[in-house]
Amino acid sequence: MSQKITEVLNREKIGILLGGSSSEREISLKSGEAVYNALKEEGLNVIKIDVVEKKAIEQFKESGITLAFIAMHGGFGEDGRLQCILEKLKIPYTGSGVKASQLAMDKVASRKIFVKKGINVPKYRLIVKNEKVELNGFKFPLVVKPSSQGSSMGLTIVDKKDKLPDAVKSAFQFGDRVIVESYIEGREITVGIFNEEPLPIIEIIPKRRFFDFKAKYESGQTNYIVPADIKYDDFKTAQKIGLFSHRVLGCRDFSRVDMILSKEGRLFVLEVNTIPGLTKTSLLPKAANAVGIDFSNLCKEMLKQATLRRI
């Protein structure tokens, strides 16, 4: 990090934005705490702000922060609304801007762009609340999930038709739009993007049927292979597709792109996460650590990119 940027960061009052009221609040608190501790140890002037959506503007003004590190997952933190407030207050912030955040959070909007750009996505159908479910042309098993949600919240794999109504009902608890998609059997991988470059791929091997909330956040429920032990050509292609997916949505600085490598060797993009988990054991930090970027430097570099947008 250049001397000038270091000097600027040392003068900043940095707000770690965490918590919120989304279904991913508890994960956000863990991410924010990890980031806060890492930056505090680096000697930076950091404070934690548990963001309340209706009071966010007042919170940011009263705190006097000059730079924001967003560690909020889902809902208000990741869908562009928080980013919009920070821009109006002229407070630089980490990660993607308003439009890219909106697109990445909306699985339907992002998939339309992916399809237009030639990126494979699972066959899917959007269901709106109180609309009759028509799934002609789909075969079981199916995946049912909210169209704007992270951490596998509300996600169900449905093997038989009689289980579909309950799965749809569960997904509707998280919003008025639900995606039903073909289940693709294969290997779950994720491609971290950092400073506009793909990191080593991670293969995710859950001990449960799929990488659900429990598999993600309960210790010992999932094995992670870094770098993924897949064919060289698949590895490079996945990195290329990951970076392309990040770019076509207009994301910046960092993200994490989740994919399935099917048994037939095809790569399918599931989603782009603009604010992935940020504890020392989260996937993006794992991938960064594989190329020698420790957690503290990862967090500082994210702040550096935000600061550069103002200098």
Which domains are assigned to the chain?
3-94+294-308 (3.40.50.20), 103-120+185-274 (3.30.470.20), 124-182 (3.30.1490.20)
Q: Which range has the worst mean pLDDT, 62-71, 122-131, 144-153?
A: 144-153
Q: What's phi and psi for 219, nearest 5 deg?
A: -60, 135
215 pLDDT above the threshold of 80: no
Percent of the chain with pLDDT over 90: 70
pLDDT reported for residue 72: 94
DSSP 199: P
180 pLDDT above the threshold of 80: yes
248 pLDDT above the threshold of 70: yes
Q: What is the spatial distance between Cα 118 and Cα 305, in angstroms, rounded to a whole number?
A: 30
Question: Measuring CA to CA, which residue among 16, 12, 32 is closest to residue 24?
Answer: 32
Buried b (16+ CB within 10 A) or exposed e, 278-308: bbeebbbbbbbbeeebebbbbbbbbbbbbbe
48 pLDDT above the threshold of 60: yes
Question: Measuring CA to CA, which residue among 103, 113, 291 is closest to residue 193?
Answer: 291
66 pLDDT above the threshold of 90: yes
Structure tokens, 233: 């050509």
How far are the Cα atoms of 93, 202, 205 from residue 90, in angstroms, in the given order? 9, 36, 42
**Mean pLDDT throughout 232-259?**
97
Q: How many residues appear in the chain?
A: 311
pLDDT reported for residue 173: 87
User: Edge to edge, what strands does the sheet with 156-158 contain?
Assistant: 124-128, 177-182, 142-146, 156-158
pLDDT reported for residue 2: 72
pLDDT reported for residue 130: 77
Q: Which residue has the tokens 């490079």?
A: 236
pLDDT tier, 120 (very low <50, low <70, confident <90, very high otherwise): very high
Catalytic positions, written as ranges? 24, 151, 217, 256, 258, 271, 273, 277
129 pLDDT above the threshold of 90: no
Percent of the chain with pLDDT over 70: 93
182 pLDDT above the threshold of 60: yes
* DSSP-derived 3-state class of residue 20: coil
Helix (H) or strand (E) holding 52: none
**Mean pLDDT computed over every residue of the chain:** 90
214 pLDDT above the threshold of 60: no
pLDDT, tens digit, 9 for 90 and up, residues 225-236 = 999 999 999 999
pLDDT reported for residue 82: 97
pLDDT reported for residue 134: 79
pLDDT reported for residue 257: 97
* DSSP-derived 3-state class of residue 28: helix
Is the four-CA dihedral 29, 30, 34, 37 of positive or negative sign?
positive
132 pLDDT above the threshold of 60: yes
Q: Which range has the worst mean pLDDT, 3-7, 177-181, 283-287, 295-299?
A: 3-7
pLDDT reported for residue 8: 81
